[in-house]
Structure 1
């Protein structure tokens, strides 16, 4: 009998650890109520910039970003480039304003899920590693600190999801997230780009910032892939921890 009690207690503890609920102060909405979801999401962003540890919602005022290989040309010929971002930290998500949410119906797989928003300033700080050859005679072999400022950053996210059942609860699983990004300005600074020539380092940074649109157009696929991982990291842990139906009001609830 005692062994059976231990088993029952262990099962209850396991289920409790695997199935968490949002704090009561987080406003819940009815399924598919886009207006309410926008209000609730913006209140969460304002009130919980350091995340909600009990449901695995990560801090979004300071967000670590995985190392990312942005450019990796074949190292042949007179011009090639390798550029990797390392130890990056993202600042600014706490100032996000969600402008529209679509989907999140009772059957979340029945309609497309969209999240639209804007951030006045999104900043990446960290390290970089650069190698390459320019114009057949300038070799690049540098590493140092980097900083990127994305000004008036707007994003549209499209999510494809499926449902997983655990402990008789429905959990949301994202299998595709497609970001679309627009911005007014990209400012980047790479310190120590030419270690032995500070004037040339300043010149190459100024060249980049004068022609940032061309660089953005060239690098956009890699940047979008990086932001895909960033947005996924914000959502995945929450959806993994909290049952989908616990995020919303029951049909009979009025508030």
Structure 2
């Protein structure tokens, strides 16, 4: 299995002075229960529009300009699959249920878990290759939906210092998730041959449990880079100590 490219140039906001919004409760360092509650408030209020005060980009819909994946010949799913100018929807309905890390110092291991009812990737695609025993080719619009996604995000915390302030720098960010169902629709397969296209979409949906294990590592890698972009945009703009309630502590 080989990932040739998983590239997306997120529409990151330019340099600006951040100011932590007053409607997001700050937590003490290491207080995981408080952080879960605060993270869910952020998701409920700001998933759609983002929040400049913590350098949070809009998450729902989330624009994904480009993702290119190639599966090697050793895989039963041997395809070159490209997505361009796609959107991900559904993150606004996700709930955080585990947050570990965020202790006294930024260095260390971090783990974040969240889940939601569904997630959809929609937009233009192109595909060429073979899936299981079926040759496949097409350029058109796609809709890929996963049901009951349960996300696990892990990263290592490093530090960077700017203007005398210490910032958290996520490194080696990895994402994985479980799901209960995946549905796919690829329009305009085989240059618009409706009969072949309909049969192929039916085949893919009836056999998603065989397809998913073959592509999930590539999907995890691509989505892990998206998550790394979002986290880095926040943590490299907001000083680490400014993320927390430091009242009652010595400066």
Q: TM-score range by the shorter chain?
A: 0.7 to 0.9
SS of 1:195 mapped into structure 2? helix
C-alpha separation in 2, matches of 1:27 and 1:135: 50
User: Contact conserved, 2:148 with 2:180, CA < 8 A, in 1?
Assistant: yes
CA distance in 2, matches of 1:122, 1:18: 31
Answer yes or no: is 1:153 the counterpart of 2:152.
no
What's the offset of the Cα at 1:133? 6.1
1:48 matched residue in structure 2: 46
CA distance in 2, matches of 1:102, 1:150: 26
Q: Pairwise CA RMSD of aligned residues? A: 2.2
Aligned mates of 1:135, 1:39 — CA distance in 2: 44
Where 2:59 maps in the other structure, the secondary structure is coil
SS in 2 for 1:235: helix
**2:65 counterpart of 1:69:** no
For residue 249 of structure 1, the aligned residue among 242, 245, 248 is 245
The equivalent residue for 2:127 is: 130
Question: What is the aligned counterpart of 2:204 among 185, 208, 220?
Answer: 208
Q: Distance between the aligned counterparts of 2:131 and 2:159, measured in 1?
A: 50
1:72 Cα deviation from its structure 2 partner = 4.7
What's 1:119 paired with? Answer: 116
TM-score, with normalisation over the residues of structure 2?
A: 0.85
Q: Which residue of 1 aligns with 2:24?
A: 26
- Per the alignment, residue 176 of structure 1 pairs with 172
Distance in 1, matches of 2:143 and 2:221, equals: 19
What are the Cα deviations for residues 145-194 of structure 1, in whole angstroms up to 9, with x where unaligned?
00011110001111111011111111111111111210011111000112
Residue pair 1:56, 1:241 contacting (<8 A) in 2 also? yes
The 2-side partners of 1:107 and 1:196 are apart by 57
Change in CA separation of 1:183 and 1:140 when aligned onto 2, cut-off 3 Å: closer
- What is the distance in 2 between the residues matched to 1:223 and 1:133? 17
Q: Secondary structure at the match of 2:248?
A: coil
Alpha-carbon contact 2:86-2:123 (below 8 Å) kept: yes
Rounded to whole Å, the distance in 1 between the matches of 2:143 and 2:137 is 18
Checking the alignment, whether the CA contact within 8 Å between 2:36 and 2:97 is kept in structure 1 is: yes
Instruction: Considering fraction of residues, name the structure with more helix.
Output: 1
Paired with 2:90 and 2:129, the residues of 1 have a C-alpha distance of: 32
Q: What displacement does 1:106 show?
A: 1.1
Q: Secondary structure at the match of 1:130?
A: strand
Q: Any stretches of 5+ residues in structure 2 without a counterpart?
A: 1-14
Contact 1:164–1:173, Cα closer than 8 Å, also in 2: yes
Q: For this pair of structures, how many residues does the alignment match?
A: 231
Other-structure match for 2:83: 85
**Rg larger in structure:** 1
Q: Is the 8 A contact 1:165 1:171 kept in 2?
A: yes
The question of whether the paired residues in 2 share the 8 Å contact of 1:19 and 1:243 is answered with no
SS in 2 for 1:69: strand
8 Å CA contact retained: 1:129, 1:142: yes
1:39 alignment counterpart: 37
Over residues 39-74 of structure 1, what are the superposed CA-to-partner deviations in whole Å (9 max), with x where a residue is unaligned?
A: 000011111121112432101111112412222546
